[in-house]
Amino acid sequence: MTDQYAEFRREVREWLAAVERPIGLRDYGGTPESDDVGPGRLWHRMLADAGYACMAWPVEHGGRNSSVYEQAILAEETARAEVPRQLNIVGPDLVGPVIIRFGNQDQKRRYLPAIREGEHLWCQLFSEPEAGSDLASLRTRARHEAGSWVIDGQKVWTSAAADADYGLLIARTGEERYAGLTAFVVDMRSPGITVRPLRQLDGASKFNEVFLSDVRLPEDALLGTVGQGWSVVTATLGQERLSLGAQAVGMFEALRTVANAARDRGLLDDALREEITQQWCRITLLRETWLRAVSVETEPSSSAFSVLKLVSSEIYRDLGDFATAALGMDALIFDEPLVQRMLVGRAQTILGGTSEIQRNILAERVLGLPR
Ligand SMILES: Cc1cc2nc3c(=O)[nH]c(=O)nc-3n(C[C@H](O)[C@H](O)[C@H](O)COP(=O)(O)OP(=O)(O)OC[C@H]3O[C@@H](n4cnc5c(N)ncnc54)[C@H](O)[C@@H]3O)c2cc1C
Protein backbone atom coordinates (compact mmCIF):
# COMPACT_ATOMS: atom_id res chain seq x y z
CA MET A 1 0.00 0.00 0.00
CA THR A 2 1.43 3.36 -1.02
CA ASP A 3 1.62 6.36 1.33
CA GLN A 4 -1.09 8.05 -0.70
CA TYR A 5 -3.56 5.22 -0.02
CA ALA A 6 -2.60 4.99 3.64
CA GLU A 7 -3.26 8.72 3.91
CA PHE A 8 -6.65 8.36 2.21
CA ARG A 9 -7.63 5.55 4.61
CA ARG A 10 -6.60 7.66 7.59
CA GLU A 11 -8.53 10.65 6.28
CA VAL A 12 -11.72 8.58 5.75
CA ARG A 13 -11.41 6.86 9.13
CA GLU A 14 -11.01 10.18 10.94
CA TRP A 15 -13.95 11.71 9.10
CA LEU A 16 -16.16 8.73 9.94
CA ALA A 17 -15.15 8.90 13.61
CA ALA A 18 -15.81 12.65 13.88
CA VAL A 19 -18.97 13.13 11.82
CA GLU A 20 -22.34 13.32 13.54
CA ARG A 21 -24.58 10.67 11.99
CA PRO A 22 -28.22 11.37 11.10
CA ILE A 23 -30.69 10.10 13.70
CA GLY A 24 -31.97 6.63 12.78
CA LEU A 25 -29.07 5.77 10.48
CA ARG A 26 -28.13 2.07 10.58
CA ASP A 27 -25.94 -0.10 8.40
CA TYR A 28 -28.65 -1.33 6.02
CA GLY A 29 -26.21 -2.67 3.42
CA GLY A 30 -26.73 -1.96 -0.27
CA THR A 31 -30.50 -1.41 -0.16
CA PRO A 32 -32.48 0.72 2.31
CA GLU A 33 -35.84 -0.33 3.73
CA SER A 34 -38.55 2.37 3.70
CA ASP A 35 -37.61 3.63 7.19
CA ASP A 36 -33.96 3.88 6.14
CA VAL A 37 -34.56 6.12 3.13
CA GLY A 38 -34.79 9.41 5.11
CA PRO A 39 -31.61 8.93 7.20
CA GLY A 40 -29.93 7.30 4.17
CA ARG A 41 -30.55 10.38 1.98
CA LEU A 42 -29.15 12.71 4.66
CA TRP A 43 -26.13 10.47 5.15
CA HIS A 44 -25.48 10.25 1.41
CA ARG A 45 -25.60 14.06 1.20
CA MET A 46 -22.99 14.27 3.99
CA LEU A 47 -20.77 11.80 2.15
CA ALA A 48 -21.22 13.81 -1.06
CA ASP A 49 -20.31 17.09 0.66
CA ALA A 50 -17.16 15.43 2.04
CA GLY A 51 -16.24 14.15 -1.45
CA TYR A 52 -16.96 10.47 -0.73
CA ALA A 53 -20.03 9.92 -2.94
CA CYS A 54 -19.69 8.58 -6.47
CA MET A 55 -15.90 8.73 -6.19
CA ALA A 56 -15.41 6.57 -9.29
CA TRP A 57 -17.23 9.03 -11.56
CA PRO A 58 -15.20 11.38 -13.75
CA VAL A 59 -14.37 14.77 -12.22
CA GLU A 60 -16.56 16.59 -14.79
CA HIS A 61 -19.62 14.81 -13.33
CA GLY A 62 -18.72 15.56 -9.72
CA GLY A 63 -16.67 12.42 -8.99
CA ARG A 64 -12.93 12.11 -8.26
CA ASN A 65 -11.95 9.59 -10.92
CA SER A 66 -10.92 7.36 -7.99
CA SER A 67 -9.01 4.13 -8.49
CA VAL A 68 -10.63 0.80 -7.65
CA TYR A 69 -8.34 0.69 -4.61
CA GLU A 70 -9.63 4.00 -3.23
CA GLN A 71 -13.24 2.91 -3.71
CA ALA A 72 -12.44 -0.33 -1.92
CA ILE A 73 -10.85 1.56 0.99
CA LEU A 74 -14.04 3.61 1.39
CA ALA A 75 -16.11 0.41 1.26
CA GLU A 76 -13.94 -1.19 3.93
CA GLU A 77 -13.87 1.81 6.25
CA THR A 78 -17.64 2.34 6.07
CA ALA A 79 -18.13 -1.38 6.78
CA ARG A 80 -15.81 -1.03 9.78
CA ALA A 81 -17.75 2.03 11.02
CA GLU A 82 -21.04 0.15 10.45
CA VAL A 83 -22.59 2.77 8.19
CA PRO A 84 -23.83 2.50 4.58
CA ARG A 85 -21.41 3.54 1.83
CA GLN A 86 -24.13 5.47 -0.02
CA LEU A 87 -27.92 5.76 -0.28
CA ASN A 88 -28.07 2.52 -2.29
CA ILE A 89 -25.98 0.58 -4.78
CA VAL A 90 -28.15 1.06 -7.86
CA GLY A 91 -27.94 4.84 -8.43
CA PRO A 92 -24.28 5.64 -7.73
CA ASP A 93 -22.59 2.32 -8.63
CA LEU A 94 -24.74 0.96 -11.46
CA VAL A 95 -26.93 3.60 -13.12
CA GLY A 96 -24.54 6.57 -12.86
CA PRO A 97 -21.70 4.92 -14.83
CA VAL A 98 -24.23 3.60 -17.37
CA ILE A 99 -25.74 7.08 -17.94
CA ILE A 100 -22.23 8.54 -18.25
CA ARG A 101 -21.47 5.93 -20.92
CA PHE A 102 -24.77 5.63 -22.83
CA GLY A 103 -26.77 8.77 -21.93
CA ASN A 104 -27.08 11.97 -23.95
CA GLN A 105 -26.09 15.40 -22.57
CA ASP A 106 -29.61 16.18 -21.42
CA GLN A 107 -29.92 12.86 -19.52
CA LYS A 108 -26.55 13.44 -17.86
CA ARG A 109 -27.62 16.92 -16.74
CA ARG A 110 -31.01 15.72 -15.53
CA TYR A 111 -30.08 12.56 -13.61
CA LEU A 112 -26.44 12.60 -12.50
CA PRO A 113 -26.41 15.49 -9.95
CA ALA A 114 -29.50 14.09 -8.17
CA ILE A 115 -27.87 10.64 -7.89
CA ARG A 116 -24.61 12.14 -6.67
CA GLU A 117 -26.34 14.15 -3.96
CA GLY A 118 -28.61 11.34 -2.79
CA GLU A 119 -31.75 13.15 -3.91
CA HIS A 120 -33.08 10.41 -6.22
CA LEU A 121 -33.32 6.75 -5.26
CA TRP A 122 -33.04 4.37 -8.23
CA CYS A 123 -34.01 0.74 -8.75
CA GLN A 124 -32.97 -1.86 -11.29
CA LEU A 125 -35.85 -3.32 -13.35
CA PHE A 126 -34.09 -6.33 -14.89
CA SER A 127 -35.23 -9.72 -13.46
CA GLU A 128 -38.59 -11.25 -14.39
CA PRO A 129 -40.47 -14.33 -13.15
CA GLU A 130 -39.10 -16.35 -16.09
CA ALA A 131 -35.82 -14.48 -16.59
CA GLY A 132 -33.14 -14.26 -13.88
CA SER A 133 -29.85 -15.99 -14.63
CA ASP A 134 -30.97 -16.16 -18.25
CA LEU A 135 -31.84 -12.48 -18.37
CA ALA A 136 -31.82 -12.29 -22.18
CA SER A 137 -35.06 -14.30 -22.25
CA LEU A 138 -36.99 -11.42 -20.65
CA ARG A 139 -40.46 -10.65 -22.05
CA THR A 140 -41.49 -7.17 -20.87
CA ARG A 141 -42.27 -5.28 -24.09
CA ALA A 142 -41.72 -1.71 -25.22
CA ARG A 143 -43.44 -0.43 -28.34
CA HIS A 144 -43.09 2.94 -29.99
CA GLU A 145 -46.45 4.65 -30.45
CA ALA A 146 -47.28 8.27 -31.31
CA GLY A 147 -44.11 9.79 -29.88
CA SER A 148 -44.11 7.67 -26.69
CA TRP A 149 -42.77 4.33 -25.54
CA VAL A 150 -45.48 2.05 -24.17
CA ILE A 151 -44.36 -0.62 -21.70
CA ASP A 152 -46.18 -3.83 -20.72
CA GLY A 153 -44.83 -6.62 -18.54
CA GLN A 154 -43.71 -7.68 -15.07
CA LYS A 155 -40.48 -7.44 -13.13
CA VAL A 156 -39.63 -9.19 -9.86
CA TRP A 157 -37.10 -9.01 -7.00
CA THR A 158 -36.76 -5.27 -7.66
CA SER A 159 -34.88 -3.93 -4.63
CA ALA A 160 -36.13 -0.57 -3.26
CA ALA A 161 -38.83 -0.22 -5.97
CA ALA A 162 -41.46 0.81 -3.40
CA ASP A 163 -39.45 3.94 -2.50
CA ALA A 164 -37.61 4.56 -5.77
CA ASP A 165 -37.94 7.74 -7.83
CA TYR A 166 -36.54 6.20 -11.02
CA GLY A 167 -35.83 2.76 -12.46
CA LEU A 168 -33.44 1.49 -15.10
CA LEU A 169 -35.59 -0.82 -17.24
CA ILE A 170 -34.59 -3.40 -19.83
CA ALA A 171 -37.44 -4.29 -22.20
CA ARG A 172 -37.91 -6.14 -25.47
CA THR A 173 -38.24 -3.99 -28.60
CA GLY A 174 -37.51 -6.80 -31.08
CA GLU A 175 -37.44 -10.59 -31.38
CA GLU A 176 -33.65 -11.06 -31.55
CA ARG A 177 -32.40 -12.52 -28.27
CA TYR A 178 -29.80 -9.82 -27.51
CA ALA A 179 -30.25 -7.18 -30.23
CA GLY A 180 -33.99 -7.08 -29.40
CA LEU A 181 -33.34 -5.54 -25.96
CA THR A 182 -33.42 -1.81 -25.16
CA ALA A 183 -32.80 0.25 -22.01
CA PHE A 184 -35.14 2.95 -20.65
CA VAL A 185 -35.29 5.36 -17.73
CA VAL A 186 -38.63 4.98 -15.93
CA ASP A 187 -40.19 7.55 -13.63
CA MET A 188 -41.53 5.17 -10.95
CA ARG A 189 -44.56 7.42 -10.38
CA SER A 190 -45.78 6.99 -13.96
CA PRO A 191 -49.42 5.88 -14.30
CA GLY A 192 -49.69 2.12 -14.95
CA ILE A 193 -46.92 1.07 -12.53
CA THR A 194 -47.96 -1.07 -9.54
CA VAL A 195 -45.35 -2.01 -6.95
CA ARG A 196 -46.15 -4.94 -4.66
CA PRO A 197 -43.65 -5.48 -1.81
CA LEU A 198 -42.48 -9.07 -1.21
CA ARG A 199 -42.32 -9.99 2.46
CA GLN A 200 -39.10 -11.73 3.51
CA LEU A 201 -38.42 -14.34 6.18
CA ASP A 202 -37.27 -11.60 8.61
CA GLY A 203 -40.46 -9.57 8.10
CA ALA A 204 -38.76 -6.84 6.05
CA SER A 205 -39.62 -6.04 2.43
CA LYS A 206 -36.48 -5.01 0.61
CA PHE A 207 -37.63 -6.20 -2.77
CA ASN A 208 -40.82 -6.05 -4.80
CA GLU A 209 -42.87 -7.21 -7.73
CA VAL A 210 -43.36 -4.44 -10.29
CA PHE A 211 -46.26 -4.59 -12.75
CA LEU A 212 -46.11 -2.35 -15.81
CA SER A 213 -49.40 -2.00 -17.64
CA ASP A 214 -49.66 0.37 -20.59
CA VAL A 215 -47.03 2.64 -19.04
CA ARG A 216 -46.32 5.60 -21.33
CA LEU A 217 -42.80 6.94 -21.29
CA PRO A 218 -41.64 10.06 -23.14
CA GLU A 219 -39.43 9.71 -26.22
CA ASP A 220 -36.34 10.74 -24.26
CA ALA A 221 -36.76 7.85 -21.79
CA LEU A 222 -34.70 5.80 -24.24
CA LEU A 223 -31.18 5.24 -22.87
CA GLY A 224 -28.62 4.62 -25.61
CA THR A 225 -30.08 3.41 -28.90
CA VAL A 226 -32.81 0.89 -29.72
CA GLY A 227 -31.20 -2.58 -29.49
CA GLN A 228 -28.36 -1.48 -27.19
CA GLY A 229 -29.99 -2.92 -24.05
CA TRP A 230 -27.70 -5.92 -23.69
CA SER A 231 -24.62 -3.67 -23.64
CA VAL A 232 -26.31 -1.69 -20.84
CA VAL A 233 -27.00 -4.96 -18.95
CA THR A 234 -23.41 -6.20 -19.14
CA ALA A 235 -22.03 -2.78 -18.15
CA THR A 236 -24.41 -2.67 -15.15
CA LEU A 237 -23.93 -6.18 -13.76
CA GLY A 238 -20.14 -6.00 -13.80
CA GLN A 239 -20.11 -3.06 -11.37
CA GLU A 240 -21.88 -4.89 -8.54
CA ARG A 241 -19.09 -7.08 -7.25
CA LEU A 242 -16.35 -4.66 -6.32
CA SER A 243 -17.45 -3.77 -2.81
CA LEU A 244 -18.26 -7.31 -1.73
CA GLY A 245 -14.72 -8.32 -0.76
CA ALA A 246 -14.64 -5.34 1.58
CA GLN A 247 -17.11 -7.16 3.78
CA ALA A 248 -14.29 -9.22 5.29
CA VAL A 249 -14.03 -6.63 8.07
CA GLY A 250 -17.63 -7.26 9.13
CA MET A 251 -17.04 -11.01 8.90
CA PHE A 252 -14.19 -10.93 11.39
CA GLU A 253 -16.57 -9.08 13.71
CA ALA A 254 -19.32 -11.71 13.24
CA LEU A 255 -16.87 -14.54 13.90
CA ARG A 256 -15.63 -12.82 17.05
CA THR A 257 -19.23 -12.42 18.25
CA VAL A 258 -19.87 -16.15 17.82
CA ALA A 259 -16.57 -17.11 19.48
CA ASN A 260 -17.27 -14.86 22.50
CA ALA A 261 -20.83 -16.17 22.81
CA ALA A 262 -19.54 -19.77 22.69
CA ARG A 263 -16.93 -18.99 25.35
CA ASP A 264 -19.52 -17.33 27.62
CA ARG A 265 -21.67 -20.46 27.39
CA GLY A 266 -18.77 -22.85 28.12
CA LEU A 267 -19.03 -24.37 24.62
CA LEU A 268 -15.53 -23.57 23.42
CA ASP A 269 -14.01 -27.06 23.07
CA ASP A 270 -11.18 -28.15 20.73
CA ALA A 271 -13.52 -29.02 17.86
CA LEU A 272 -15.16 -25.59 17.97
CA ARG A 273 -11.77 -23.87 18.25
CA GLU A 274 -10.62 -25.65 15.14
CA GLU A 275 -13.71 -24.62 13.23
CA ILE A 276 -13.35 -21.00 14.32
CA THR A 277 -9.74 -21.11 13.11
CA GLN A 278 -10.82 -22.50 9.74
CA GLN A 279 -13.41 -19.76 9.28
CA TRP A 280 -10.82 -17.17 10.31
CA CYS A 281 -8.41 -18.52 7.66
CA ARG A 282 -11.07 -18.31 4.95
CA ILE A 283 -11.89 -14.69 5.84
CA THR A 284 -8.18 -13.82 5.92
CA LEU A 285 -7.71 -15.37 2.48
CA LEU A 286 -10.71 -13.45 1.19
CA ARG A 287 -9.30 -10.17 2.47
CA GLU A 288 -5.83 -10.85 1.02
CA THR A 289 -7.31 -11.89 -2.34
CA TRP A 290 -9.44 -8.77 -2.37
CA LEU A 291 -6.44 -6.55 -1.55
CA ARG A 292 -4.47 -8.20 -4.35
CA ALA A 293 -7.36 -7.87 -6.83
CA VAL A 294 -7.97 -4.20 -6.11
CA SER A 295 -4.27 -3.41 -6.40
CA VAL A 296 -3.82 -5.06 -9.82
CA GLU A 297 -7.24 -4.61 -11.44
CA THR A 298 -8.12 -1.18 -12.73
CA GLU A 299 -11.51 -2.10 -14.17
CA PRO A 300 -14.30 -2.59 -11.55
CA SER A 301 -16.30 -4.74 -13.98
CA SER A 302 -13.44 -7.25 -14.45
CA SER A 303 -14.57 -10.90 -14.37
CA ALA A 304 -11.87 -11.49 -11.74
CA PHE A 305 -14.15 -9.79 -9.20
CA SER A 306 -16.53 -12.73 -9.62
CA VAL A 307 -14.25 -14.70 -7.31
CA LEU A 308 -14.77 -12.11 -4.57
CA LYS A 309 -18.53 -12.15 -5.04
CA LEU A 310 -18.55 -15.94 -4.95
CA VAL A 311 -16.30 -16.40 -1.93
CA SER A 312 -17.62 -13.53 0.21
CA SER A 313 -21.27 -14.52 -0.18
CA GLU A 314 -20.51 -18.18 0.56
CA ILE A 315 -18.43 -17.35 3.66
CA TYR A 316 -21.27 -15.15 4.94
CA ARG A 317 -23.74 -17.96 4.41
CA ASP A 318 -21.40 -20.47 6.10
CA LEU A 319 -20.81 -18.13 9.06
CA GLY A 320 -24.56 -18.08 9.66
CA ASP A 321 -24.76 -21.86 9.49
CA PHE A 322 -21.75 -22.15 11.78
CA ALA A 323 -23.29 -19.78 14.36
CA THR A 324 -26.50 -21.82 14.39
CA ALA A 325 -24.62 -25.10 14.71
CA ALA A 326 -22.41 -23.77 17.53
CA LEU A 327 -24.99 -21.83 19.54
CA GLY A 328 -28.29 -23.49 18.63
CA MET A 329 -31.38 -21.33 19.16
CA ASP A 330 -29.28 -18.71 20.97
CA ALA A 331 -27.85 -17.66 17.58
CA LEU A 332 -31.30 -16.42 16.67
CA ILE A 333 -32.01 -14.37 19.75
CA PHE A 334 -28.89 -12.77 21.11
CA ASP A 335 -27.43 -10.70 18.30
CA GLU A 336 -29.57 -8.91 15.72
CA PRO A 337 -26.71 -8.00 13.31
CA LEU A 338 -25.60 -11.64 13.31
CA VAL A 339 -29.09 -12.84 12.42
CA GLN A 340 -29.24 -10.23 9.65
CA ARG A 341 -25.89 -11.43 8.31
CA MET A 342 -27.06 -15.05 8.31
CA LEU A 343 -30.08 -14.13 6.20
CA VAL A 344 -28.29 -11.65 3.96
CA GLY A 345 -25.48 -14.13 3.30
CA ARG A 346 -27.91 -16.54 1.71
CA ALA A 347 -29.49 -13.77 -0.41
CA GLN A 348 -26.05 -12.68 -1.58
CA THR A 349 -25.35 -16.11 -3.08
CA ILE A 350 -28.28 -15.30 -5.43
CA LEU A 351 -28.36 -11.54 -6.16
CA GLY A 352 -26.15 -10.01 -8.85
CA GLY A 353 -25.67 -13.47 -10.41
CA THR A 354 -25.89 -16.73 -8.43
CA SER A 355 -22.87 -18.72 -7.20
CA GLU A 356 -23.33 -21.16 -10.10
CA ILE A 357 -23.28 -18.27 -12.58
CA GLN A 358 -20.12 -16.81 -10.94
CA ARG A 359 -18.46 -20.24 -11.25
CA ASN A 360 -19.40 -20.32 -14.94
CA ILE A 361 -17.92 -16.84 -15.46
CA LEU A 362 -14.71 -17.79 -13.65
CA ALA A 363 -14.41 -21.06 -15.56
CA GLU A 364 -15.03 -19.59 -19.00
CA ARG A 365 -13.66 -16.04 -18.86
CA VAL A 366 -10.88 -16.26 -16.28
CA LEU A 367 -9.64 -19.86 -16.54
CA GLY A 368 -10.48 -20.24 -20.25
CA LEU A 369 -12.26 -23.59 -19.80
CA PRO A 370 -14.74 -24.78 -22.45
CA ARG A 371 -18.45 -23.99 -21.93
C1 LIG B 1 -31.71 -9.91 -2.25
C2 LIG B 1 -31.93 -9.86 -3.75
C3 LIG B 1 -32.06 -8.63 -4.38
C4 LIG B 1 -32.29 -8.58 -5.76
N5 LIG B 1 -32.45 -7.35 -6.35
C6 LIG B 1 -32.72 -7.28 -7.67
C7 LIG B 1 -32.97 -6.00 -8.29
O8 LIG B 1 -32.92 -4.95 -7.66
N9 LIG B 1 -33.27 -5.98 -9.60
C10 LIG B 1 -33.32 -7.11 -10.36
O11 LIG B 1 -33.57 -7.00 -11.56
N12 LIG B 1 -33.11 -8.34 -9.81
C13 LIG B 1 -32.81 -8.44 -8.47
N14 LIG B 1 -32.61 -9.68 -7.89
C15 LIG B 1 -32.81 -10.88 -8.70
C16 LIG B 1 -31.53 -11.66 -9.00
O17 LIG B 1 -30.76 -10.98 -9.96
C18 LIG B 1 -31.97 -13.05 -9.49
O19 LIG B 1 -32.62 -13.68 -8.40
C20 LIG B 1 -30.80 -13.89 -9.93
O21 LIG B 1 -30.24 -13.37 -11.10
C22 LIG B 1 -31.20 -15.36 -10.15
O23 LIG B 1 -32.30 -15.45 -10.98
P24 LIG B 1 -33.59 -16.33 -10.56
O25 LIG B 1 -33.98 -15.92 -9.17
O26 LIG B 1 -34.59 -16.18 -11.65
O27 LIG B 1 -33.06 -17.81 -10.50
P28 LIG B 1 -32.84 -18.79 -11.74
O29 LIG B 1 -32.09 -18.09 -12.81
O30 LIG B 1 -34.15 -19.41 -12.10
O31 LIG B 1 -31.90 -19.89 -11.11
C32 LIG B 1 -32.38 -20.99 -10.34
C33 LIG B 1 -31.20 -21.89 -9.99
O34 LIG B 1 -30.63 -22.43 -11.19
C35 LIG B 1 -29.23 -22.15 -11.25
N36 LIG B 1 -28.82 -21.87 -12.64
C37 LIG B 1 -29.46 -21.07 -13.53
N38 LIG B 1 -28.78 -21.02 -14.70
C39 LIG B 1 -27.67 -21.79 -14.53
C40 LIG B 1 -26.56 -22.15 -15.38
N41 LIG B 1 -26.45 -21.66 -16.63
N42 LIG B 1 -25.61 -22.95 -14.87
C43 LIG B 1 -25.70 -23.44 -13.61
N44 LIG B 1 -26.73 -23.17 -12.77
C45 LIG B 1 -27.69 -22.35 -13.22
C46 LIG B 1 -29.06 -20.90 -10.41
O47 LIG B 1 -27.73 -20.80 -9.94
C48 LIG B 1 -30.07 -21.14 -9.28
O49 LIG B 1 -29.53 -21.98 -8.31
C50 LIG B 1 -32.37 -9.78 -6.52
C51 LIG B 1 -32.22 -11.01 -5.88
C52 LIG B 1 -32.01 -11.07 -4.51
C53 LIG B 1 -31.88 -12.41 -3.85
pLDDT tens track, the chain, 371 positions = 578 889 999 999 999 999 999 999 998 888 999 999 999 999 999 999 999 999 999 999 999 998 878 888 898 899 889 899 999 999 999 999 999 999 999 999 999 999 999 999 999 999 999 999 999 999 999 999 999 999 999 999 999 999 999 999 999 999 999 999 999 999 999 999 999 999 988 788 889 999 999 999 999 999 999 999 999 998 887 776 665 656 676 788 788 888 998 899 899 999 999 999 999 999 999 888 877 877 776 676 677 778 888 888 898 888 888 888 888 887 777 666 677 777 777 888 998 889 999 999 899 988 999 98
CATH, range 122-227: 2.40.110.10
Three-state secondary structure of the chain: CCHHHHHHHHHHHHHHHHCCCCCCCCCCCCCCCHHHHHHHHHHHHHHHHCCCCCCCCCHHHCCCCCCHHHHHHHHHHHHHHCCCCCCCCHHHHHHHHHHHHHCCHHHHHHHHHHHHCCCCCEEEECCECCECCCHHHCCCEEEEECCEEEEEEEEEEEECCCCCCEEEEEEECCCCCCCCEEEEEEECCCCCEEEEECCCCCCCCCEEEEEEEEEEEEHHHEECCCCCHHHHHHHHHHHHHHHHHHHHHHHHHHHHHHHHHHHHCCCCCHHHHHHHHHHHHHHHHHHHHHHHHHHHCCCCCCCCHHHHHHHHHHHHHHHHHHHHHHHCCHHHHCCHHHHHHHHHHHHHCCCCCCHHHHHHHHHHHHCCCCC
Atom of ligand 1 nearest to the CA of 155: 11
Domain ranges across the chain: 3-116, 122-227, 237-366
Residue 240 appears among annotated catalytic residues: yes
Ligand 1 center from residue 102 Cα (angstroms): 25
Question: Which candidate in 70, 76, 128, 240 is catalytic?
Answer: 240
CATH topology of domain 237-366: Butyryl-CoA Dehydrogenase, subunit A; domain 3 (1.20.140)
- Give the CATH fold of the 3-116 domain: Butyryl-Coa Dehydrogenase, subunit A; domain 1 (1.10.540)
Give the pocket of ligand 1 (CB within 6 Å). 123-124, 126-127, 132-133, 157-159, 207, 347, 350-351, 353-354, 356-357, 360
**Domains 3-116 and 237-366 equal at CATH topology level:** no
Q: How far is the CA of 55 from the centre of ligand 1 (A)?
A: 29
